[in-house]
Structure 1
Amino acid sequence: MSANNQELEKAKSHIIVEIIEYIPNSVVIKTIIKKSTGNISAVSFDSGEALTEKISPFDTFIQIIDGEAVVVIGTQAHELTVGESIIIPANTRNIIEAKVRFKMISTIIKSAYEDASMDLM
């Protein structure tokens, strides 16, 4: 996996689908905004690549901007195409995989809400 943690230039327009390239056999992450309260990233996946199963303590909003993705939340697979999005709930097992190459925007907003909901369980 390749990551670029430098934020995009502010007060300048960007075509997000063009700021990140496909790299053979790789997942590439380009930081758009990174703050203590959350982050927005552009991510590209080459065909056959995946992010391994994980559980995030925060809700994650995923929007497909090129290609097609499979997002597995818990045990349910969701096939998404350009323009479609999904919210991965906090504290839920998930996998993001590419049957064909694709690009997405990932948005995570960190808040105390997720911690409070765990206390209620």
Structure 2
Amino acid sequence: MAETKLTVAGADPQQLVEMTQYQQGSVVSRTLLQDESGTLTVFSFDEGQALSEHTVPYNAFIQVLDGQAEITIGGKPSLVNAGEIVLMPGGISHKVRAVKRFKMLLTMFKTKVA
């Protein structure tokens, strides 16, 4: 069994939006949990910053914590605002761009999609 990497105190309430800070012209990430079942990562994007189009074999959820992002899945762009969540199905290309500065929680489940 693989080791679980945890970077937050267990059982203590945490403010997700405070776990990464904005940096001008950058994307900042902090992995909160990583093991064989998946990852939980908080990101901060400065306005205009992006993750280029890519595909992974796993389902992933984005929960926007602050700001606004354009998330393109399978060529279809959607604006996603604070408080909203979107599923990025495994095996389908996706990309993320900050329309405004934004923060997100990425939850990836490492279960291959059929």
TM-score by length of structure 1 reads 0.86
Q: What is the rounded CA distance, in whole Å, between the counterparts of 1:6 and 1:12 in structure 2? A: 13
Unaligned stretches of 5+ in structure 2?
A: none
Post-superposition shift, 1:17? 0.3
Matches within 5 A, 1:1-121: 7-112=7-112, 114=113, 117=114
Higher normalized strand content (fraction of residues): 2
**1:6 deviation in Å?**
6.0
Runs ≥4 residues deviating over 3 A: none
Instruction: Tell me if the contact between 2:60 and 2:88 (Cα under 8 Å) persists in the aligned partners.
Output: yes
Q: Supply the distance in 2 between the matched residues of 1:14 and 1:31 (Cα, whole angstroms).
A: 14
Equivalent pairs: percent with the same residue? 32
Aligned-partner Cα distance in 2 for 1:83–1:65? 6
More helix by share: 1
- Deviation per residue, 1:80-103 (Å, 9 max, x gap): 111111000101111000121000
Alpha-carbon distance, 1:32 to partner: 1.3
Is the contact made by 1:7 and 1:34 (CA closer than 8 Å) also made in structure 2?
Answer: no
Instruction: State the one-letter code of the partner of 2:71.
Output: V
Number of paired residues? 110
Normalising by structure 2, we get a TM-score of 0.92
CA RMSD between the two structures: 1.3
Q: Any unmatched runs of 5+ in structure 1?
A: none
